[in-house]
């Protein structure tokens, strides 16, 4: 696959280690830098404070927490967000329906298409 000329920082927030590593590898294979993965809200917030984030893939449920506080922080920074979850759209609060939702398991093709959409890149 072609590598982007200007690499971006992509935040990955996922509490299931194997899924997080899979998403990380797909993103890195495209030539982007992964920030994280973070498995909880506190870790994600720390990464956001310490890195420029260009786009984010977030699981909805992080153990006993949800990623909604992370969404609010990233949205305030105008960072494109995509949920990667087994949840259906109707299970996500209405105030977060403007964000894209991709079902698990995410395939490399779907991740590539979604990431380029989030970054405003053409195929």
Confidence bin at 4 (pLDDT 50/70/90): very low
* Contacts with 71 (C-beta within 8 Å, 6 or more apart), sequence order: 58, 81, 96, 99
Q: Which residue has the higher pLDDT, 117 or 5?
A: 117
Q: What is the CATH number of domain 9-119?
A: 3.40.50.2300
pLDDT tens-digit map of 96-112? 999 999 999 999 999 99
Where in the chain are the domains?
9-119
Q: Please, what is the average pLDDT of the chain?
A: 93
Q: What is the pLDDT of residue 75?
A: 98
């Amino acid at each position: 696959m072609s590598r982007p000329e200007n690499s971006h920082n992509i935040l990955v927030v996922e509490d299931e280690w194997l899924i997080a590593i899979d998403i990380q590898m797909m993103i890195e294979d495209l030539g982007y830098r992964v920030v994280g993965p973070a498995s909880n809200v506190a870790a994600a917030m720390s990464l956001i404070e310490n890195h420029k984030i260009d786009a984010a893939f977030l699981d909805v449920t992080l153990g006993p927490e949800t990623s909604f506080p992370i969404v609010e922080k990233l949205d305030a920074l105008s960072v494109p967000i995509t949920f990667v979850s087994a949840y259906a759209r109707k299970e996500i609060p209405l105030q977060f329906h403007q964000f894209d939702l991709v079902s698990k398991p995410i395939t490399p093709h779907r991740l590539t298409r979604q990431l380029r959409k989030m970054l405003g890149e053409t195929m």
